[in-house]
């Protein structure tokens, strides 16, 4: 492949992200391993001034204005079709990256044909880990432990901590069930084989669905805690915790119905269990008087 062809395409879906984009775009390198990095911002909130600002401050960034909010998956797919990099990174605007982490993940993606998607450790502004950057595909028991607080009470015990894998070392690297849509990096050839985001999911659940499909094609979903980036998680959604939590539960329920609802009994079971998990998690948050209970 030509040295002038992009090595990495970074696709960022923006929605009312004017305050977050400067740090995000400013943290991205222009090249990796001697080849260009192309950056594409897809805007889901037209008329917010982002187009003019990017043209002025980051003229090398490709900008796509969708005209309306088409959702996370459709916007990412539009960015995917507009780019050509050998590797693709779907990245949230509320992240601050670094060249070392990006280079490390790209090197692994290129060197390991079995690797489908990879994420480094995502850390929040206070230095704590964003636990969603490494997850299992949870069983009924895992979901109950997460919703009820058993996982938080016994984070180092595999029997209770299967959802967010908190019993595993944060600075290790290993195969997991799913990683976070805030940072999903893989080779374009993998995404050509597996397909990109399922556009039936407007927001939430789409990253879990993609990880399941990539794994079913025989590729690994990999967490690598030896590198880290910052994820300023929750800045835009913390104002409406109940609505956000309900949307996440319902989206993940629909993912399970898509992949595991193979019979009427299975669909009934998963609908009932996700409804129970949602009620338990929201009740715990209210009883504690704050919104520190993360949704599944």
Number of CB atoms found within 10 A of residue 110's CB = 14
pLDDT at 229 over 80: yes
* pLDDT tens-digit series, residues 240-257: 556 666 777 778 788 888
pLDDT for the residue 80: 97
pTM for the model stands at 0.89
pLDDT tens, position by position, 37-89? 999 999 999 888 999 999 999 999 999 998 889 999 999 999 999 999 999 99
At 293, is the pLDDT very low, low, confident or very high (cuts 50, 70, 90)? Answer: very low
Contacts with 33 (C-beta within 8 Å, 6 or more apart), sequence order: 7, 103, 106, 107
15-48 as b/e: b if 16+ CB within 10 A: bebeebbeebbebbbeebeebbbbbbbbbbbeee
Domain ranges of the chain: 1-132+176-234, 136-166, 237-296
Domain boundaries 1-132+176-234, CATH class: alpha beta
Can you say how many angstroms the Cα of residue 233 is from the centroid of all Cα atoms in its chain?
A: 11
Distance of alpha carbon 253 from alpha carbon 262, whole angstroms: 14
For 149, how many CA atoms within 13 A lie in the half-sphere containing its CB? Answer: 11
Residue 292 clears pLDDT 60, i.e. is over it: no
Q: d(Cα 241, Cα 239) in Å, to the nearest integer?
A: 6
The C-alpha atoms of residue 14 and residue 12 are separated, in whole angstroms, by: 6
The HSE-up count of residue 3 (CA atoms within 13 Å, CB side) is 2
97 neighbors 229 (Cβ within 8 angstroms): yes
């Amino acid at each position: 492949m030509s040295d002038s062809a992009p090595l990495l395409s970074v696709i960022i879906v923006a929605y009312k992200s004017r305050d977050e984009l400067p740090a995000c775009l400013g943290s991205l390198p222009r090249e990796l391993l001697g080849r260009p990095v192309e950056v594409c911002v897809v805007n889901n909130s037209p008329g917010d001034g982002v187009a003019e600002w990017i043209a002025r401050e980051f003229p090398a960034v490709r900008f796509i204005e969708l005209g309306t909010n088409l959702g996370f998956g459709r916007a990412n797919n539009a960015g995917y079709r507009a780019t050509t990099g050998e590797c693709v990174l779907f990245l949230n605007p509320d992240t601050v990256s670094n060249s070392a982490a990006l280079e490390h993940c790209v090197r692994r993606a290129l060197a390991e044909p079995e690797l489908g998607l990879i994420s480094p450790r995502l850390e929040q502004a206070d230095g704590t880990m964003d636990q969603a950057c490494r997850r299992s595909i949870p069983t009924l028991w895992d979901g109950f432990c997460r919703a009820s607080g058993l996982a938080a009470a016994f984070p180092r015990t595999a029997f209770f901590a299967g959802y967010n894998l908190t019993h595993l070392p944060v600075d290790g690297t290993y195969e997991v069930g799913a990683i976070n849509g805030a940072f999903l990096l893989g080779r374009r050839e993998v995404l050509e084989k597996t397909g990109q985001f399922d556009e039936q999911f407007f927001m939430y659940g789409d990253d879990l669905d993609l990880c399941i499909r990539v794994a079913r094609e025989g590729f690994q979903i990999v967490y690598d805690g030896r590198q880290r980036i910052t994820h300023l998680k929750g800045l835009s959604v913390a104002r409406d915790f109940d609505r956000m939590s309900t949307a996440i539960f319902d989206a993940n329920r629909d993912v399970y119905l898509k992949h595991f609802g193979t019979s009427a009994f299975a669909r009934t079971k998963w609908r009932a269990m996700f409804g129970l998990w949602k009620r338990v998690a929201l009740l715990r948050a209210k009883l504690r008087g704050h919104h520190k209970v993360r949704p599944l």
